[in-house]
Structure 1
Amino acid sequence: MTMSVSDLLLEQVTRLHASDQTSRREDFDSALWTKIEELGLPLAMCPEPDGGFALRWSDLFDVITHSAACGEPTPLGETLIANALLCGGGAEPAASAVFFSAWAADVPETARLLVTRGEAPALVTFSDPAGAVAGNTPTTVSTVRYAGALLRSIQIAGALQGALDLSVRYAQERVQFGRPLAKFQAIQHMLAQLANEAVATAAAARIACAKMDAGDGDLAIAIAKLRAGRAVEKGAMLAHQIHGAIGVTMEYPLGRLTRNMWRWAEEFGDQREWAIAIGRTAVATGDAWDAVIAASDPVEVAGDE
C-alpha cells in the first residue's frame, strides 16, 4: 500500500522522538530542530512553489499530536502555522523556528517570534521582539487567533494522549499492596475518565481541522478550544492522581506535559472567551442548536479517500 506524504512525515517524526529523553527537556532542542528542518517539515503547509508539500490541517494532525505527546521540545506546530500564514499572505516563509510566545530557553539566533503589528501579524527576531519586522502579511489578527486556537487544541489532544499513555504504563508497572495499580477499580475508573477526555478532545480537534480545510472552521475551532480547555482541567488532575508524588518530579515527563497543557489552554483565548464566541456565533445564525450540531459533524474534505 502506498503511503501518503503525511504518513511518511509522521513515520519520520516518530523516529525523531524515539528517545525517552525528548519529553524531559525544558529547553529548545536545537539538535532535534536541525533534523526537522532536514525533513522539510517547517514548510509542509506551504504550496509546492514555496518549497512545501501543500498539506492541510487534517494531514498534519497526527504529526502535531505526536510531537505534543512527546513534550514538544521544538515549536514545530507554531512554525508550520506561521509559514502557512506567511505563504497565504504572499510573504516568503523560512525554515527557522517560530514561537508564538517567549517561553523557550537557549533558542538559536535564527529563531523568530510571531507578533501582531496593528491588524497584521509579523515575524521578528526572537531575541529582539521590538526589532524590525522580518516578514509581513495582510493576514488579520483574527485569522491568527483562530489558527493559534486550533493549533493549541490539537496540541492539547496530543498531550492528553501522552499523559494517558504514561498513566497506563505507570499503573501497570507500579505495584501496591502486592498487585499492580491497574488492578484497583479506582485506578481503572480514573484511567477510563482520562481516556474519555483525550478521545473527546482529539475528536473535536479533528473535526475542526476538517472544517478549517473546508474553509468554514470558526465555530468548530471555538468548540474544539473550549472542549480542550475543559479537558485540561480534568485530565491533568486525573493523570497526577494516578501517578501520585512521582508525577511532579523533574525527572519524570508527566510534569512537562501538564505544564504545556495548562499554558496552551490559556493561549489564544481561554474557556470563557470561546464560550462567548460560540454563543454569539450560534445565535447569529438564527438557530443556535442546529449551528452547533453542524459545526460538530465530521466533514469530508476534497482529496480524502
Structure 2
Amino acid sequence: MDDLFSDALRQLLADQCTPAVVRQIEASGDGAALWAHIDSSGFADALVAEAQGGSGLSLREAQDVMALCGRYTVPVPLAETMMARSVLAQAGLSEVGLVDSAWADAAKGSITLAQGRLADDGSLMCANVQLGRVADAVLVSDAQHTWLLSTQHAQSSPASFVLDADLRWSPEHVAAGVKLPKHQDVRLLLGCINAAQLSGALLAVFNNTLQYANDRVQFGKAIGKFQAIQHQLSVMAEHSFAAHMAAQLGCASDTAVPDRVRVAVAKARTSEAALEVASLSHSIHGAIGFTREFDLQLFTRRLHAWRQSGGAESYWHTVLGHELVDNRSGLVLDLIRSATDVTA
C-alpha cells in the first residue's frame, strides 16, 4: 500500500507542485489551490485509521510519502497534517467528533505543528511556526497541554523562513480552542516529520548536483571528471544515503506513533547531513546556485529550515545521551541495536 500511495503522490506532485508553483506560493503566501489538489486525493488522512475514514498507514508505510514532501519542496503542510490528523483521531477529536462546526472545518483543513509558550496572562506564543503562513490551524503544545488553534485567530508576524510565521493567540482564543485530553510531544512529531522530509530533499539535492556536474563543461570536459569535484560528490552521496537510512529508522513503527530514541537518531543524522550537503552543493554549482532563478536554493533553504525545526542535531544528541546514561534495562549495546533495527 505504501508504494501505491507514494507512486500516486509522486505523480500528483510532479504535475501540481512544480518549482514555478513553489515560487508563486512563497511570493503570495497562498497555497489553497495546491492544498485542495492534495487534500482531495486523500493523502492527508494516510495515518488515520480506516475505521475513522483514513487509509490506516503506519509510520513505516508513510515514510516515503513524507520524504516526497522534501523531494518536491511541498510548500503546504502535508506531512504535518498527516501527523496532526492522526493525533486528533486517536484523541477522538477528528472532524466528526468536534461539536463546533468552525473547529470541524479547521480539522478538515491543513494543520501544522508548533511548540508554544503560555504567558502569565494566558496568551500563547509560538515562534517560527513551520508553514504558519499557509496552514489553516496549528496543533500546539507547551510543557503540559496541547491545543488545536486556528491561524485565523492568531496575530502573525514574519519568521526566518519565508512561509513560517511567529504566531500569538490571545487568552480568549486559547480558551476557545480545542484542548486535547492528552498532552502530545510536538517536538517529537516534528522531529520525525522533518527527518523524513530532509531525507527526500537531500537525495534530490545530490541527484541534481550530480547531473549538473556531468552537464557543466569547463576546460574542455565535464567538471564531474575532476578529482576534487568527484570527492565532493562522494561526500554528498555518503551523507544523503546515510540520512535516508536514518529517516527509515525514525519512521520504523508499525503504528502512527514515533519512537523517541529512533527519532533522535534520525533527526540528529539528517540535520548533520543538511549542513554538509547544502554547503557542498553550492560549492559545486558556484555562484549560479545562489540565484533566485535557479532551483537549488528552493531545496537548500529548506535544508537549513528543517534542520532547526523540531530540534537541531545538538538537541537530539542530548536526548540520545540521556537515554544511554539512564538505560537501566540492559547493556548500552542492546539499546543501540534495538534503536537501529529497522525490522523491529
Give TM class, smaller chain: 0.7 to 0.9
Q: TM-score, normalised on structure 1?
A: 0.88
Pick closer, same or farther for the CA change 1:196–1:24 going to 2, 3 Å.
farther
Change (3 A) 1:260 1:215: closer
2:67 matches 1:65:
yes
Give 1:219's aligned residue. Answer: 261
* Number of residue pairs the alignment of both structures matches: 293
Q: Deviations over 1:19-50 (max 9, x none)?
A: 35345452453222111111111111111232
Find the counterpart in structure 2 of residue 96 from structure 1. Answer: 109
Match of 2:161 in 1: none
Residue of structure 2 in register with 1:303 after alignment: none
Give the Cα–Cα distance (whole angstroms) in 2 for the partners of residues 31 and 178 of structure 1. Answer: 46
Deviation at 1:136, TM superposition (A): 3.4
Asked if structure 2 preserves the Cα contact closer than 8 Å seen for 1:150 and 1:209, the reply is yes
Q: Deviation digits for residues 51-99 of structure 1, max 9, x if unmatched?
A: 2011111111111111211112221111001111111111114331112
1:128 aligned onto 2:153 = yes
Aligned pairs for 1:38-187 (under 5 A) are 38-93=40-95, 94-100=107-113, 101-102=128-129, 104=131, 107=134, 111-116=136-141, 119-129=144-154, 130=169, 131-132=173-174, 133-142=176-185, 144-187=186-229
Give the aligned partner of residue 249 of structure 2: 207
SS at match of 1:274: helix
Equivalent in the alignment of 1:17:
13
How far apart are 1:105 and its partner, in Å?
Answer: 7.8
Aligned counterparts of 2:274 and 2:151: Cα–Cα separation in 1: 28
Structure 1 residues 98-148: Cα deviation after superposition (integer angstroms, max 9, x where no partner): 12354548637xx11222256232221113231355533234243x22121
CA distance in 1, matches of 2:30, 2:213: 30
Inter-partner Cα distance in structure 1 for 2:258 and 2:44 = 24
SS across alignment from 1:124: strand
Q: What is the distance in 2 between the residues matched to 1:263 and 1:9?
A: 26
For residues 168 and 117 of structure 1, what CA distance do their matches in structure 2 show? 43
Distance 2:149 2:219 in 1: 56
Q: CA 1:216 to 1:288, structure 2 compared with 1: closer, same or farther past 3 Å?
A: farther
**Shift in alpha-carbon separation, 1:103–1:183, aligned structure 2, 3 A:** same
Q: TM-score, normalised by structure 2?
A: 0.78
Moved more, 126-135 or 259-268: 126-135
**Alpha carbons 2:250, 2:258 under 8 Å: kept:** no
State the identity as a percent: 30
Deviation at 1:152, TM superposition (A): 1.0
**Deviation per CA, 1:252-278, whole angstroms, max 9, x where unpaired?**
221121111111111222222211111
Compared CA separation, residues 234 and 117, structure 1 to 2 (3 A): closer
Structure 1 residue matching 2:153: 3-state secondary structure: coil
2:76/2:134 contact within 8 Å kept: no
Q: Which amino acid aligns with 2:134?
A: V
**1:222 & 1:285 partners in 2: Cα distance?**
15
Structure 1 residues 14 and 183, CA gap change in structure 2 (3 angstroms): same
Secondary structure (helix, strand or coil) at the match of 1:268 reads: coil
> 2: CA distance between counterparts of 1:46 and 1:198?
30
Which structure: greater strand fraction? 2
Give the distance between the partners of 2:84 and 2:194, measured in 1 at CA.
13
Unaligned stretches of 5+ in structure 1? 301-305
Between 13-22 and 29-38, the greater mean CA deviation after superposition: 13-22
Distance 1:12 1:21, change over 3 A: farther
Name the stretch that deviates more: 42-51 or 19-28: 19-28
Determine the structure 2 residue equivalent to 1:292.
Answer: 336
Q: Which moved more, 1:130-139 or 1:157-166?
A: 130-139
